[in-house]
Structure 1
Amino acid sequence: MKQILLVLQGLMLVALFGCSSLVNEGSNRNAVSSSLVDYLYPNKDDRSEVTAQLPLLQLPVKVGLAFVPSAGFSPRQQLSMAQEMALLEKVKASFTRYDYIDRIELIPSTYLRNGRGFDALEQLARLHDVDVMALVSYDQVMQTIDNNASLLYWTIVGLYVIPASDNSIQTFVDTAVFDVKSRKMLFRAPGVNRIDQRSTAIGVADTMTENSFKGFDAAVQDMVVNLDAELGRFKDRVKNEKIAKVEHREGYSGSAGALDFVFLGLLLCACLVQLFQRQWRQPRNRP
């Protein structure tokens, strides 16, 4: 009787190992990326060209905001149009805080697929009536490694699956802001994120798909913090480092938080006029 039980247990273990091999999806590595350099310089010979032209910015500037088209081959890592626009809304919030920015136009990445290079970027800027383009590029690497714990066990409550896959998703995003006419980069801001998680082998695909967008979202949030800091420093850099020339559009007088000399002069004149009017209206004492 004991020998029969041992044989049955051995057969059960063989069957369980067989089931485990069916559940095991194997190790794989997927990546998706959108290269800013490849988009702006489709001809590699143009990458060495450097222009000495200094950007001329007309304040407040009009900004176009878009994702660089991706070149990945993993369907579960591809950002949908709705996901792209949702992430761009978070980036847009950083720009709206500063008075030297007029408006921010969100541009779907499909518009950027019609052509590459600065010539195509200039056409896109004219189409949307913007002076500056903020281009968001990214790299995401998704890796799944099945470990030695990929076993199935029978318990009192039934079949139990030990977490069998180590999943990692590394995401890098970067916003580069260009003056379209001079083709000069004004500043850039990066963001990074890493997600590590263990899951059952049978559910690894769903887990990775869900975490892919979470990685993008967290990396964009990290980038927004850096972008906000760069936007805050940009005005000081223009003044102190002379990285660009500045002209004011008609009706724009500068920073909303600071009074310029013209406004102070007008305010002083108004106060003096009111003071003289009050003194003139007071009755004079007769002798």
Structure 2
Amino acid sequence: MKVQQLMLVIIITSLAGCSTFFSQNTNQKTRSSSLVDFLYPDEQSRQAHLPSMPTLNLPATVGIAFIPNKYDSGIRSNDEIALLEKVKNQFMQYDYIDRIEIIPSSYLKGGQGFTTLEQVSRLYDVDIMALVSYDQVAQTLENNAAFLYLTIVGLYVIPGNENTVQTFVDTAVFDVKSKKMLFRAPGINKVDKRSTAVGIDDTLNTQSQHSFNLAVDDMAANLDAELGRFKTRVKEEKIAKVTHKNGSSGGSIFWLLALLSGVFLIKQRKWFISNIKD
């Protein structure tokens, strides 16, 4: 009898965490890429440098890339491109943007810091780099229904696992030459779904991609607002100097328009006086 009781305890103990037999994603899994670690990989690179006023040569050319994940494969390349297309669409709405280049994260792998950023920007002939970093935590816990896993059949039909995926994404936009961050825009999302023990991996993989999509959608809306504010800040707060690729500056255009307006008004006045005399 004691042997039977001991065997029963062993079986129950083994089955209590049975979802671990069907998944490598039990408990908690994190995927992340760090903007700070990429741009400032060592103490020397983190030393303060003298701030300089960025000069934006408009219309600007922009490169967009995910910061690579050092610890695992990160986001699949096809999914990465699809997510970056959403970011690209936000930039294309503004007349001070000329061209957008989507840059695979593989071009940033193996290198770090502003040196790598400058090399990639020269390769793609862009003036500004938009770097997308992310932090995603996937967690699965067994709920009260998991006790029914002891029936064995429950492993396949009873949703005894609570699966949660939380995603944070952030786009930081840099002027490459001055190494100054122009602005940033975040996006967040959280999704929850129950699954059976044998369905954990499929559920978490689906949730992971869905959560990335929703977080990027949130970030895209914030990015649109930041792009609009940035245009106003350049004019009102003078946070950057502006030149134009046709050789004129923003100030020169202003005075040219003022001059043309003055000439037009003078001609109109002369025409008006001439008609009164007649």
TM-score (norm 1): 0.79
Equivalences for residues 7-156 of structure 1 within 5 A: 21=16, 23-25=18-20, 27-73=26-72, 78-150=74-146, 151-152=148-149
Deviation track 1:169-220 (CA, whole Å, cap 9, x = no partner) reads: 0100000000001000000000000011111111111100111111111000
Q: Aligned residue for 2:179? A: 183
Q: Which amino acid aligns with 2:224?
A: D
Deviation track 1:75-118 (CA, whole Å, cap 9, x = no partner) reads: 6xx31111100000000000000001111111111111141110
Identity %: 53
Q: Aligned residue for 2:162? A: 166
SS of residue matched to 1:188: strand
Name the CA distance, whole Å, in 2 between partners of 1:115 and 1:22. 41
Name the CA distance, whole Å, in 1 between partners of 2:85 and 2:184. 18
Q: Which amino acid aligns with 1:24?
A: S
Corresponding position: 1:215 with 2:214: no
Change (3 A) 1:138 1:245: same
Q: Which runs of 4+ in 1 moved over 2 A?
A: 16-27, 158-162, 251-254, 259-277
> What residue ranges of structure 2 are gaps of 5+ in the alignment?
1-7
Q: How many residues align?
A: 260
Name the CA distance, whole Å, in 2 between partners of 1:178 and 1:247. 17
Name the CA distance, whole Å, in 2 between partners of 1:82 and 1:141. 21
Name the CA distance, whole Å, in 2 between partners of 1:194 and 1:172. 9
Does the 8 Å contact 2:16/2:150 carry over to 1? no
Name the CA distance, whole Å, in 2 between partners of 1:196 and 1:233. 34
Does the 8 Å contact 1:60/1:252 carry over to 2? no
Structure label with greater radius of gyration: 1
**Cα-Cα RMSD:** 3.3
SS of residue matched to 2:45: helix
Q: Aligned residue for 2:4? A: none
Name the CA distance, whole Å, in 2 between partners of 1:165 and 1:251. 63
How far the C-alpha of 1:273 sits from its partner, in A, is 7.6
How far the C-alpha of 1:45 sits from its partner, in A, is 3.4
